[in-house]
Amino acid sequence: MKLKSLIVSIKGVKLSKAEANLFSKEKPWGVILFKRNLKSSDQIKRLILKIKNLTKNRKFPILIDEEGSSVSRLANIMRHDFSANFFGNLYGKNQSFCKKIYSHYIYSIAKTLKYLGFNINTIPVLDILRHNTNKVIGKRSFSFNKKIVNELGILTIKNLHKNRIGSVIKHIPGHGASTADSHKRMPRVFLSLKKLNKLDFIPFKSSKAKFAMTAHILYAKIDKNNVGTFSKEIIQNIIRKKIGFKGLLISDDISMKALKHDLITNAKKSLKAGCNLVLYCAGKTNDNYKLIKSLPYIDKFTQKKTSEFYKFLG
């Protein structure tokens, strides 16, 4: 399986000639689509079918970040103005009612995604809220309560999987203690490993998700020099050993300002630290090409997990 360790992104609602060549001649692992790429149901289905035909792979990974409320890439097509936090609050009031409603909600979103041609949704957000959590997470988090975050996270994965949609738990090992927006600058968290393990790590443990997305956060008491995405200590000893995540690890977007290097350096540092796949979201064709030419093919572990994912898709 000769695939590059890169998830690319595109510019508009149609593929340019250069983008079509990217999918037919190069070997990206997958693609993530954003609101700028999604105009109508028919257009989305055509675009995704074209990408799958160009790659000669009907199981080619097509990702979307469809959380609902403030993070909805399909707002042009379907409205679901319910945040994760809405369901977390509902869970606090009536647990059994919330579980039924939320399961139905996620199941229906997954059914729509499958109909359109997507096969991975980058949810659930398993970050635990604090009173000073940056608003970039805010209502995207289910709760201050680790039990509620954990329970609703499990339900999210279960109902996506029922529709053969892969899930991406994020932002591992936990973004909730951060007071800064990693899109704009590097957040620093000064909590001890013991405190993080008691709270932030909990929802990520024993997860059945196929994928996880790293946090571009400096956990100063664990690795004072590297953000989670660049840290062997975080990835190998915390995410893989202590948390025990067994799926594929995707970097958060390498074009975010929390990462201070150029794109290629950011990508290579992510892979060197232990990320299996690099995510690039800005959709610039030249950067897609630069990255794909510079990055290695996926390793044996990633090949194995990719094959398992293809089998899961049926």
Task: Classify the C-alpha dihedral 50-56-58-63 as positive or negative.
Answer: negative
pLDDT digits (tens, 9 = 90+) for 229-249: 999 999 999 999 999 999 999
Q: What's the rounded Cα separation, in Å, for the pair 226 and 4?
A: 24
Can you say how many angstroms the Cα of residue 159 is from the centroid of all Cα atoms in its chain? 17
List CB contacts of 175: < 8 A, sequence separation 6 or more: 127, 137, 182, 187, 215, 217
pLDDT tens digits, one per residue of 63-93? 999 987 778 889 878 877 899 999 999 999 9
**Residue 88 CA, distance from chain mean position:** 20
For 19-58, the pLDDT digits (tens) are 999 999 999 999 999 999 999 999 999 999 999 999 999 9
Which residue, chain included where needed, has tokens 């983008």? 19
11 Cα distance to chain centroid: 19
Q: Look up residue 41 and give its amino acid.
A: S
Task: Tell if the pTM clears 0.85, that is, is over it.
Answer: yes
What letter does residue 251 receive in the DSSP assignment? P
Per-residue DSSP letter, 244? -
Taking a C-beta distance cutoff of 8 angstroms, is the pair 214, 250 a contact? yes
pLDDT, tens digit, 9 for 90 and up, residues 244-268: 999 999 999 999 989 999 999 999 9
Q: Could you write out the three-class secondary structure of 271-285?
A: HHHCCCEEECCCCCH
